[in-house]
Amino acid sequence: MKFRGAAWVEVKDARGRTLLSRNQPGGSDAEVVGKPPLSLVIGNATDVRLTYNDRDVDLEPHTRVSVARLTLP
Protein backbone atom coordinates (compact mmCIF):
# COMPACT_ATOMS: atom_id res chain seq x y z
CA MET A 1 0.00 0.00 0.00
CA LYS A 2 1.15 3.49 -0.81
CA PHE A 3 -0.35 6.38 1.11
CA ARG A 4 -0.62 9.73 -0.69
CA GLY A 5 -2.36 11.18 2.37
CA ALA A 6 -2.83 10.07 5.96
CA ALA A 7 -5.07 7.01 6.26
CA TRP A 8 -6.08 4.39 8.80
CA VAL A 9 -5.68 0.74 7.82
CA GLU A 10 -6.50 -2.63 9.36
CA VAL A 11 -5.63 -5.97 7.77
CA LYS A 12 -6.61 -9.39 9.14
CA ASP A 13 -5.59 -12.81 7.85
CA ALA A 14 -7.64 -15.98 7.28
CA ARG A 15 -7.51 -16.81 11.01
CA GLY A 16 -8.74 -13.38 12.01
CA ARG A 17 -5.33 -12.30 13.34
CA THR A 18 -4.60 -8.62 12.96
CA LEU A 19 -1.56 -8.18 10.73
CA LEU A 20 -1.67 -4.39 10.59
CA SER A 21 -3.73 -1.81 12.44
CA ARG A 22 -2.51 1.78 12.51
CA ASN A 23 -2.62 5.28 11.14
CA GLN A 24 -0.29 5.67 8.17
CA PRO A 25 1.12 9.11 7.36
CA GLY A 26 0.97 10.49 3.86
CA GLY A 27 4.00 9.61 1.75
CA SER A 28 4.53 6.27 3.49
CA ASP A 29 4.29 2.64 2.35
CA ALA A 30 3.17 -0.53 4.12
CA GLU A 31 3.58 -4.16 3.14
CA VAL A 32 1.64 -7.03 4.68
CA VAL A 33 2.30 -10.74 4.30
CA GLY A 34 -0.25 -13.26 5.57
CA LYS A 35 -2.44 -16.23 4.85
CA PRO A 36 -5.35 -15.24 2.56
CA PRO A 37 -8.09 -14.39 2.39
CA LEU A 38 -7.10 -11.01 3.79
CA SER A 39 -9.77 -8.71 5.18
CA LEU A 40 -9.06 -4.99 4.85
CA VAL A 41 -10.60 -1.81 6.19
CA ILE A 42 -9.02 1.38 4.86
CA GLY A 43 -10.02 4.84 6.02
CA ASN A 44 -9.47 7.78 3.64
CA ALA A 45 -9.31 5.19 0.86
CA THR A 46 -9.09 7.79 -1.91
CA ASP A 47 -5.51 8.53 -0.76
CA VAL A 48 -4.39 4.89 -0.80
CA ARG A 49 -2.99 2.85 -3.68
CA LEU A 50 -3.34 -0.88 -3.02
CA THR A 51 -1.37 -3.52 -4.90
CA TYR A 52 -2.05 -7.24 -4.35
CA ASN A 53 0.00 -9.96 -6.07
CA ASP A 54 1.59 -7.31 -8.33
CA ARG A 55 -1.81 -5.99 -9.49
CA ASP A 56 -3.48 -2.71 -8.62
CA VAL A 57 -6.74 -3.06 -6.72
CA ASP A 58 -9.48 -0.51 -7.42
CA LEU A 59 -10.82 0.56 -4.01
CA GLU A 60 -13.64 2.72 -5.39
CA PRO A 61 -16.25 -0.10 -5.72
CA HIS A 62 -15.56 -1.07 -2.08
CA THR A 63 -15.67 2.47 -0.65
CA ARG A 64 -18.50 4.16 1.20
CA VAL A 65 -18.06 7.51 2.92
CA SER A 66 -14.28 7.30 2.29
CA VAL A 67 -13.89 3.88 4.01
CA ALA A 68 -13.06 0.82 1.88
CA ARG A 69 -13.99 -2.65 3.15
CA LEU A 70 -12.91 -5.65 1.09
CA THR A 71 -11.54 -9.18 1.17
CA LEU A 72 -8.67 -10.29 -1.03
CA PRO A 73 -8.58 -13.97 -1.98
- The ranges assigned to domains in the chain are 2-72
- The per-residue pLDDT for 14 is 97
The phi and psi torsions of 60 (rounded to 5 degrees) equal -55, -45
CATH 3.30.1490 for domain 2-72, yes or no, is no
pLDDT in tens, 5-50: 999 999 999 999 999 999 999 999 999 999 999 999 999 999 999 9
Q: In what order do the strands lie in the sheet with 38-43?
A: 18-24, 7-12, 38-43, 67-72, 63-64
The alpha carbons of the chain give a radius of gyration, in whole angstroms, of: 11
> pTM, whole model, 2 decimals?
0.94
Q: What is the mean pLDDT of residues 48-53?
A: 97
